[in-house]
Amino acid sequence: MVKTLFVRPSHDDVTSYLHYYSKELVDFSDSCSLTTFNKEKESATTRVILPIIDKNNPSFIMFNGHGSPDLICGHNNEILIQKKLNHNLLKNKLTYSLSCSSALGIGSAVADEQTVFIGYTDEFALGMDVYCQASIFRDKRAKLFLEPSNLLVKSLLKGNSAKEAVSKAKELMKKNISLLRTDPFPDAKDYIPYLFNNYAILEVFGNSDKTL
Amino acid sequence: MIPKEKEIIIKQIIIERIKSMAPNVKIALGSSKEGFLGKDELLKEVNNNTVLGKKIIEIQLRYLRALKEGIV
Give residue B15's domain range: 4-68
Tell me, yes or no, if A171 comes closer than 8 A to chain B by beta carbon.
Answer: no
How many structural domains does chain B have?
A: 1
Q: CATH fold of A3-203, please? A: Rossmann fold (3.40.50)
- Considering only CB atoms, B22 lies closest to which of A126, A128, A186, namely A186
Map out the domains of chain A as residue ranges.
3-203
Query: How many CB atoms sit inside 10 A of residue A1's CB?
Result: 6
Question: Nearest-CA residue of chain B relative to A200?
Answer: B62
Contact between A161 and A210 (Cβ < 8 Å):
yes
What percent of chain A stands above pLDDT 90? 95
Find which of A64, A99, A139, A196 to mutate to test the B interface (most B CBs within 10 Å of its CB). A196
Q: What is the pTM of this model?
A: 0.95
E-only strand ranges, A41-143: 60-64, 67-68, 71-73, 79-82, 94-98, 116-120, 125-129
How far apart, in whole angstroms, are the C-alpha atoms of residue B72 and residue B65?
A: 9
What's the DSSP call for residue A128?
E
Strand pairing category for A125-129 and A116-120: unpaired
Residues pairing with A142 in the sheet: none
Q: What is the pLDDT of residue A126?
A: 96
Distance from CA of A28 to the nearest CA of B (A): 26
CA B60 to chain centre: 5
pLDDT per residue as tens digits for the range A79-94: 999 999 999 999 999 9
pLDDT per residue as tens digits for the range B1-53: 678 888 899 999 999 999 999 999 999 997 666 789 999 999 999 999 999 99
